[in-house]
Amino acid sequence: MNLHAVLTQVIPTLASLIEGIGVLIILYGCIKSLYLFILDRLNLSNNQPKLELAKALAYSLEFKLAAEILKTVIIQTIDEFIVLSAIVILRVVLTVVIHWEIKSTNSEIGE
């Protein structure tokens, strides 16, 4: 059995596990953010719950992006490459936007 055949069998499972970790991080971030929001008596002007959720989303996107990078190893057609490229580009854009949001929220808190 050659290396490509082994990777073709293993990578989908690894990618799914890594994406699952990303989902768990999102779930944790949502629960923590909601908890902080409720503790603050649903105060919309407090940026801490929003910041916690943004950090969790950014962190989870890193795991999701890692899974997509793993999937590039087993691409066999140009159509798969185009779809995977679009997904990676969207996730990178989302990560940049979320990091920008975190940075702007941190600067608001510092003022």
**Residue 108 pLDDT exceeds 80:** no
Determine, yes or no, domain membership for 33: yes
Share of the chain above pLDDT 90, in %: 51
Determine, yes or no, domain membership for 111: no
Which pLDDT does position 111 carry in this prediction?
53
Determine, yes or no, domain membership for 31: yes
Determine, yes or no, domain membership for 81: yes
| Of the ranges 19-28, 40-49, 61-70, the best mean pLDDT one | 19-28
Determine, yes or no, domain membership for 89: yes
Residue 12 is part of which domain span? 3-106
Rounded to an integer, the average pLDDT of 1-22 is: 90
Report how many domains make up the chain.
1
Determine, yes or no, domain membership for 86: yes
Structure-model confidence comparison of residues 33 and 91, the more confident one = 33
DSSP string, the chain: --HHHHHHHHHHHHHHHHHHHHHHHHHHHHHHHHHHHHHTTT-TT--HHHHHHHHHHHHHHHHHHHHHHHHGGG--SHHHHHHHHHHHHHHHHHHHHHHHHHHHHHHHHH-
pTM assigned to the model? 0.81
